[in-house]
Every structure is written in C-alpha cells, then in structure tokens.
Structure 1
Amino acid sequence: MFRTFRGRLALLYVSLELGILLFAGVVLYTALANRVYNEVDEQLVNQAASLASKLEDTSIYFWSAPMNQFADHYAGAIQLISANGIEIFRSDRSLIDRGGNDVSRALGMAFRSGHPAFASTESLLNKANIRVIAFPIFSDGRIVATLMLGHSTADIRSVFNLMYLIGGILGIISILISAAAGYYMAKRALDPIQEITRIARAVAAGDLSRRLTSRAQEKEIGVLVRVLNKMFADLETSFITQKRFTADASHELRLPLTILKGEIEVALRHPRSEQEYQQILRQQLDMIDRIQRIVNDLLTLASADAGQLEMIQTELDLSLLLQEVGQQHLILFDSQHISLDMEIEDDLEIMGDATQIERTMMNLLSNAFKHAPEYSTIYLSAHVTDRSVIICVRDEGPGIAEEQQGRLFDRFYRADDARCRKDGQGAGLGLAICKRIVDAHDGDIWVKSRPGEGAAFFIRLPLMAIDKGHQQRLRHVVAENADAA
C-alpha cells in the first residue's frame, strides 16, 4: 500500500499526527510536572516553617514533644539532624538512605546556605518517589539543626497514569482517524487522475471520441479536465481533418492521374499522326496544369498551417486593386452574358500583401462566376464600417443550404458535388485558401446565402490608421526640399 501515493500520503498524515501528539505530551508533562513540584514544594515549605518556628521557640532539650505531636498528624517521613550530624528524631525510615546523594546534597546545602533545599528520591512518576525538603533551624543566629520532611507523590502518580492512559487512547484513535481521513482524501483526490489515465490510454489507442466526465470540486482538477478535454477534441478534429484531407487529396489527384495514364496508354497502342500526338499532348498538358494547381494550393495551405505563409505587408490601395480585379473578369463574365456591378468607395487603404489579396478576390469572383446563371449579375462592393472595410461578392446563383455553410471553408469541401461548373471540376481548395489569407491579415470571411437566392461572401479587413492630411503635408515638404536641392 505504501508504494502508492495515497498510502504514502496516509503514512505522512499518521507520522505528522504522531509527532504532534508526542510533542504535545512532552510539553504537557513538563508543564504539569513543574506545576506539581511547585505545589508540593510550597506545601512542604509551609509545613516545615510552621514546625521550625515551634522548635526555635522551644529549648533543644524539649524538641521531642513538638516533633511527636507533628508526626502524629503528618503522613510523610520526618527526620531531624543536628549540626554535628547526629540524628535527633526520625519518624520513619531514614530519608538520607532512601534519597541517596540528592538528599545528602540538599541537606548539606541547607546547612551551608541557611535556606531551604529540595530533592527527590526517585522520578516524579515512580511509585516510591518522595519529595524532600531540608529546612534549617536557627538558634541565636546560627544553624543548630536541619529539619527534613518527605512527601509521597503516589497520588500524583495515579493522576498522571490516568491522564496518560486517556491521552494514549485518544492519541491512537486520533491517529487511526487521521490515517483513514488521509487515505480517503487521497483516494478522492486521485480518482480523477485514474479517470484521466484511463481516458488517455483509450485516446492513445485510437479512440479519440472519449472525453473526461469528472465532477471534481477541486479547482485544479477541474482546470486540468477542461484543458485535457479541449486537447482531446482538438486531436480528434485534427485527426478527422487529416483523414478527410488525405482521402480528398488522394481522390482529387487520382482522377487526373488516371485520366493522364489512360490517355498515354491509348496513345501508345498504335502509331498516330503528328497532329493527333499534339492534340493528345495538349490534353495531357491541361491535365498536368490542373494537377499542378492542386499541388500549389496544397502547398499554400500547408504553409499557412505552419505559419509560414509569406505576407509582405505594405500600404495597399484596396480601391484600385478591387477595380483592377473586377475589370480583369469582364471578358470572362461577358462570355456567359453575365454583368458585373461594382460599388467601391475611394481611398480605401490597408496594410496587406497585394498578391495574396488579389488572389483572394480572384477566387471569390471565379467562384461566383461558376455558379451564376446566364444573363445574371455579379455584385462587387466595398465600404467602410467601424474602422474596417467590408468587401462583398454576391451572385444570383442557386445559393447554399444553411447546414452546408459551416463547412464551406474546409479543404476539398463542395456544397454540391453534382453541380455543373463552367470550367470543369474544381478541387474545393479556393475558399480554404481565401480564409487562410484573410486570417493572416487579421480579418474575417463569412457567407450569407439562402437556397434559390444566390450567395454573398463577405470579407472584413482593418483599415490602415494614417492621417491623410499629414501624409499630404509630408509629401509637399519632400517635394519642396527636392526642388530646393
């Protein structure tokens, strides 16, 4: 049991409890022993002083009467020794013989100093212990004898024995309770850890859907459970995304490669004319271009995921860029009798990468063209709202179902695989790339659509905080300095 954390914690509680009890017992014994000694000594002093006063008022030849009278009602031992060491009176066994050196030293100290001295025959808690006082008796200013009184501490020992018996029982009970409480608290605290271990093993084995359900009240455990659940959810999402990405990428690349392989095999079956070979090679070149576009898009997304997507942040005239991108699509739109309606505010300036922003707008306009019916209109607008510019690309196509809009910016996702595209099957990477580019510019991209009412894609980008008046004044000063030079 002590190899486990809960066992060691319970042992620690028991050790601390035992140490506290031992320390408390030593302190209590010392305090009570001193108190008992003081009370016994005070009582002995009073009794010895009373008897010594009578002896000092009585001639030495008549001391036997007050000594016998005192011995009749005194329960302890009495011994009276003259200054020359002769025993004058003894009511019981000699205190000097019972006390040994301690009592002899107390007797000598009383003779030398003229003050009472104390000694004990045994330990305070010993059954045969006697507390002894050596009290000097004066006559004509000199010590003529020393009175020795002994007081038994047997009754005190009984009280101490009872106290230690009760204290020992209570201490054992306290230790057992502390051990049980420590083991229970450790078990309760470690139950979430066991669940975490079990769920972590299941996740490590491949079951990424498992989650922790601990209801632990400890704040630290609760925080750990939430962090681990988030980590498991992120792992599951990442794993599912990776699997879907691998499957979709394999599917997107397998189809053109299969077509390319089939065309080459057909071309090699029998000799053909130069014109036929050129036609086959042009078809294969188109297929290779498509594969190259898919691979380039995948590299772009991989760079974005790794935080290595190159963004050259410069001052960018967004109004001019949007107008140029719109004009580049006029011929393409006109081929399907689609018109372009642009409402772009002037002087929209941002900090961004012109190439990547242009790529984003190209993808959105191309996407709108793919789904816009003939003789419809595509709308491109840009206006300022709350220190940001809102760009909108809207078409009049079939629209997108609400349940599909949440996944529209996922890789290889198509809202409708059966939908006909004007320029062939797309790989479903354009919107995912748009989102990565917009995110890299601290912006947002979203879609609003209803089935049958077209789709509108919105981009929010932060405006560049520049004082245009200050910029114009700066240019004017630079121009003046150049003319002066």
Structure 2
Amino acid sequence: MKAGLIKLYNHMFRTFRGRLAMSYIAVEFLILVVAAGLIYWVLSVQIYQEVDEDLFHETQQLVHQLETSKAPLWGHHLQEFSAYYRGVVQLVNLEGKILFSVGEELVGKDKDDIARAISGAFSGQAAVFVSTQSLLKKGNLRVAVMPIIVDNHIVAVVILARTTNDIQKFFQLLYFFGGALGLLSMLISGLVGYRMARRSLRPINEITDAAQAVANGDLSRRLESPVHDQEIRELIESLNKMFVCLEANFNSQKRFVSDTSHELRHPITILKSEIEVALLQERSPEEYRALLKQLFSISERMQHIVNAMLTLAQADAGTLEINNETIDLSLLLQEVGQDHLILFSKQRIHLELDIEEGLEIKGDQHRVERVFYNLLNNAHRYSPEGSIVTFQAYHEDDMAIIKVIDTGIGVSEKDQPHLFERFYRADDARNNQQGEGAGLGLAICKHIVLAHQGSISVESTVGEGATFIVKLPLSSKPSSSLKL
C-alpha cells in the first residue's frame, strides 16, 4: 500500500504530465471556490432580503391592525394573526412586560440582540431586523421588531420571528450537491488534463526515444513531423537537421579515418619492405644512397598527407590560423605561375598567364599561395602533353576572380559536387598521384578559400577539361591591368 502511494506520488508530482494535470485541478478548484462563494453571497443576500420584506409586510399589517383598533381588542387580533402565522408572535409594553406570546419567548433569556432591537423600536425606529439562534430548535430565527404608535406615542412593540431552517437546509443541500459536482468536475478535469498532457507530450516521448537511439549509435533515426503542432514541428525539424549533421559528420569522420589508414598503409608497407630487403644483405654505397632517396621520397609523401590532415582537422575544429595582412594578389599569382613554367614545359604543356595588375586582398599569404599551387599542380597532373593551361585573374566589382583552365580529362557532373571532399577522387587516374594528390588538396583549397570569405567552384565537361574558379574579396579596386 505504502509503495503504491509512493509510486502514485512520484507519478503525479515528479512527472510533467502529472504536474500539468494537478495544475488543471488546482485551477478548477480555485475557480469553483470563487464561484461557490459568489453564488452563496448572491443567493443569501437575495433570500434573506425576501425574508425581511415578508416579515416587514406581515409586521406592518399586524401593527396597522392593532393601531386602528382599541387596546381591549388587541388580544383577539393577535390570536387571529397567530392562527395562520407560522412563527413567533409577541407583544411587549413599555415596561418590558410580555402582553402576548405565541411560540418561543424571545424577550429575556440572555438574548441581548433582541433587547437591543426592542430598545431601538421604543426609541422610534420604524423597524428593526435581527438574526438570533433559536433556543428550542436547531437553526436561526429572523426577527422583526416594530413599534405600535397610538396618538403619537409608542405604547408597545410587536415582535415577529420566522425560522430560517428551510433556508439553511437549502444551503446545506446546495453545499452537498455543489461539493459533489465540484469533486466530480475536478476528477474529470484531472483525468482529461492528464490525457491531454499525455497526448501533448507524446512527441516528447518520441523525441526522447529517438535521442536515446541516436546516443546508442543509430544515427539514421529520424522523427516524423506533426502537421498541426507548429512548436513541436519546428523542434522536430531542428532535431532532424541535427541528426542529419551528426550522421554526416560521423560518416565523414569514419571515412576520413578509413581513407587516412588506406593512404598511409601503402607508403608504410613500401617503407617496411624496402628496409627488410636492405637488411637481408650488404649493399654498395650507391645502392644505399638510392634506397635512402626512395625512403626519403616515401617519408616526404607521408609528411604531406599528415600535414594536409592536420590542416583539415584545424579547419574542422575552427582553429585554423589565418593571418590578416595585405597581399599583392597579382604579384603572388605571377610568382606562382612563373614557378610552374619549367614544370609544365617538361611535359610540353603550355601555361598561359593572364593576370590583371593591382589586385589586393586581405589574408594569409602562405595559405593563399598554397591554394593556387594546389590548383596548378592539379591542372598539370591531369593535362595531356601538348595541351594548354590558362592561369587567369581579373576583378568583377569588389571580387577578385581567379581561374585555372585546363584541357585535360575533365570531371563528370555526378563527381563535381563531391570534388572538394577530402580523399575524393573522380576517376582512377587520380589514384596513383603523390603528395596532396591523395585526395586532400582540393579539400584544403576549399577550407582556405572559405576562411578568406571567398568561394571555389568547378565547371567541367568530360574529355574537354575543367575550369576551377576562385573568388576572393578585394581590399581595394585595381586601377590598371597587365597581361603576361
């Protein structure tokens, strides 16, 4: 029994729907108490006013009858009146002596309120109404006291009293039925409120279940959006967006770890194999020198991958440091282009520089330079011999537009949206590249450009080449242009 009460208490007062149902009951109880008080006050005032009016008319009628007749006939008139009047009838003279009495004696017997009423009537008050407790029956009496005036002199007072037992019984029944209806109403209100709260909180329970499922690893869990509840719908839509982001970030992180392991496994395997072979037998200094050069190349590739991963990790964490300095973008692009002329010429690729003079931006010179080194290396890697690569820069409004245009293998439409994702390679030709060609270069470009409030995109047709477009905000507009 005790355990059941404790469980009920916890359910009603420690759950939101229980407290909500109890608040419904409390509000209705307050409304019922106020309404009952107002009803009682209005009814009691009206009923007792009617009782006083009846008493006044009856007393006035009796007093008028006595005042218009001679004193010896008063007893006869009082007897006739008492025959049909259901209540107390008394006649008291100036000395306080009871001349006539039917029913309970009200004069004396510790009834100070009656004595004051009689005194007021003898003092000239037209009518005095008081309530007093009956000494014979349970309940109260409503009493009217009125003077009898003969020849402008008060000679006696008439006292009429009527029991209010019927009124009290009426109010008792009203209290009983009103209380019963009130309790029933509060019970119904509590049940309805509990069901409404339970129904209203059903989406919260579903949200809790979904959150627990996501916490347990089910990142694909989604919530159905209700049609009518706008607040709940907005909450669920926000949570679904959060779940989508969590799943995307988790999958991205999972893919990142997997791809990183894959990218590092190959050079580590080669490194281990070369060292094992070298340890099997003595070699000449030239052979050791060639082996060390190969090991250096492998370690350099691993260093490139690790540095690229570190850059992306800093970008994801929001800790990528970007210096804010004025950069002569035109000069930077010219130097990057000049640095690649020899590399391109070795593969008989013609690099055209079309760079507007006077372009200036705010940012980190080293990181901006890295973006265009990556893009030109990318163009060199996928351009065939004898092709043309154009490195172009100009301004539109307050933006610097830089394009790297190649005539290489191109990128298909389905691959273009994913081209700037880490470790993404659009075709098999990209699998055997070194350094940041492991699939991190374009992802790094994207993060650096975004950190400079710019944008990067690609336009391409398979077999016709690709155009990479970088837009960066200018710090000042150029005044002239120079083409190289």
Q: TM-score, normalised by structure 1?
A: 0.88
Shift of 1:146: 1.4
1:32 correspondence with 2:47: no
Aligned to 1:483: none
Pick from 429, 433, 446 the counterpart of residue 457 of structure 2.
446
Matches within 5 A, 1:138-149: 138-149=149-160
Aligned to 1:263: 274
Partner SS, residue 475 of structure 2? coil
Matches within 5 A, 1:216-227: 217-227=228-238
- Farther-moved stretch of structure 1 (62-71 vs 384-393): 62-71
Partner SS, residue 149 of structure 1? strand
Partner SS, residue 268 of structure 1? helix
1:356 correspondence with 2:336: no
1:318 correspondence with 2:329: yes
Distance, in Å, in 2 between the alignment partners of 1:314 and 1:440 is 14
- Farther-moved stretch of structure 1 (311-320 vs 160-169): 160-169
Aligned to 2:96: 85
Aligned to 2:473: 462
Distance, in Å, in 2 between the alignment partners of 1:194 and 1:100 is 69
Pick from 106, 110, 120 the counterpart of residue 117 of structure 2.
106
Task: Kindly provide the CA deviation profile for residues 277-313 of structure 1, in whole angstroms up to 9, marking residues without a partner as x.
Answer: 1111111111111111111111111222222222222
Aligned to 2:193: 182
1:249 correspondence with 2:276: no
Shift of 1:419: 4.3
Does the 8 Å CA contact 1:136/1:147 hold for their aligned counterparts? yes
Shift of 1:102: 4.0
Pick from 386, 400, 425 the counterpart of residue 411 of structure 2.
400
Unaligned runs of 5+ in 1: 470-485
Does the 8 Å CA contact 2:139/2:168 hold for their aligned counterparts? no
**CA pair 368-466 structure 1, distance change in 2 beyond 3 A:** closer
Paired AA for residue 300 in structure 1: T
**CA pair 419-144 structure 1, distance change in 2 beyond 3 A:** same
Partner SS, residue 63 of structure 1? helix
Paired AA for residue 339 in structure 1: H
Partner SS, residue 316 of structure 1? strand
Matches within 5 A, 1:285-434: 285-419=296-430, 426-434=437-445
Shift of 1:105: 4.2
Does the 8 Å CA contact 1:114/1:143 hold for their aligned counterparts? no
- Farther-moved stretch of structure 1 (393-402 vs 436-445): 393-402
Shift of 1:141: 4.6
Matches within 5 A, 1:133-282: 133-154=144-165, 156-157=167-168, 160=171, 163-164=174-175, 167-168=178-179, 170-215=181-226, 217-282=228-293
Shift of 1:5: 2.4
Does the 8 Å CA contact 1:99/1:120 hold for their aligned counterparts? no
Distance, in Å, in 2 between the alignment partners of 1:101 and 1:181 is 54
Q: TM-score, normalised by structure 2?
A: 0.88
Distance, in Å, in 2 between the alignment partners of 1:337 and 1:433 is 28
Shift of 1:201: 1.0
- Farther-moved stretch of structure 1 (126-135 vs 39-48): 126-135
Distance, in Å, in 1 between the alignment partners of 2:109 and 2:38 is 30
Partner SS, residue 280 of structure 2? coil
- Farther-moved stretch of structure 1 (272-281 vs 384-393): 384-393
Distance, in Å, in 2 between the alignment partners of 1:179 and 1:74 is 51
Shift of 1:463: 1.7
Partner SS, residue 210 of structure 1? coil
Partner SS, residue 238 of structure 1? helix
Task: Kindly provide the CA deviation profile for residues 357-399 of structure 1, in whole angstroms up to 9, marking residues without a partner as x.
Answer: 1110000000011000110001122222242122111111111
**CA pair 316-308 structure 1, distance change in 2 beyond 3 A:** same
- Farther-moved stretch of structure 1 (174-183 vs 156-165): 156-165
Distance, in Å, in 2 between the alignment partners of 1:98 and 1:160 is 29
Distance, in Å, in 2 between the alignment partners of 1:114 and 1:238 is 95
Aligned to 2:142: 131
**CA pair 369-53 structure 1, distance change in 2 beyond 3 A:** same
Distance, in Å, in 2 between the alignment partners of 1:215 and 1:184 is 18
Distance, in Å, in 1 between the alignment partners of 2:326 and 2:418 is 33
Kindly tell me the number of residue pairs found equivalent between the two proteins.
467
**CA pair 334-183 structure 1, distance change in 2 beyond 3 A:** same
- Farther-moved stretch of structure 1 (82-91 vs 139-148): 139-148
Task: Kindly provide the CA deviation profile for residues 219-271 of structure 1, in whole angstroms up to 9, marking residues without a partner as x.
Answer: 33222212221221111111111111111111111211111111111111111
Distance, in Å, in 2 between the alignment partners of 1:235 and 1:421 is 32
Distance, in Å, in 2 between the alignment partners of 1:293 and 1:208 is 33
Aligned to 1:6: 17
- Farther-moved stretch of structure 1 (407-416 vs 370-379): 407-416
**CA pair 417-99 structure 1, distance change in 2 beyond 3 A:** farther
Aligned to 1:94: 105
Does the 8 Å CA contact 2:330/2:356 hold for their aligned counterparts? yes
1:435 correspondence with 2:474: no
Does the 8 Å CA contact 2:359/2:478 hold for their aligned counterparts? no
**CA pair 466-346 structure 1, distance change in 2 beyond 3 A:** closer
Distance, in Å, in 2 between the alignment partners of 1:78 and 1:11 is 55
Distance, in Å, in 2 between the alignment partners of 1:419 and 1:7 is 63
Distance, in Å, in 1 between the alignment partners of 2:344 and 2:285 is 35
- Farther-moved stretch of structure 1 (277-286 vs 18-27): 18-27
Unaligned runs of 5+ in 2: 1-10
**CA pair 90-312 structure 1, distance change in 2 beyond 3 A:** same
Distance, in Å, in 1 between the alignment partners of 2:283 and 2:32 is 105
Please tell me the root mean square deviation across aligned C-alpha atoms, in Å.
Answer: 2.7
- Farther-moved stretch of structure 1 (302-311 vs 361-370): 302-311
Paired AA for residue 304 in structure 1: A
Distance, in Å, in 1 between the alignment partners of 2:303 and 2:124 is 116
Partner SS, residue 209 of structure 1? coil
Distance, in Å, in 1 between the alignment partners of 2:139 and 2:380 is 114
Task: Kindly provide the CA deviation profile for residues 169-190 of structure 1, in whole angstroms up to 9, marking residues without a partner as x.
Answer: 5434432331232112211121
Shift of 1:205: 0.8
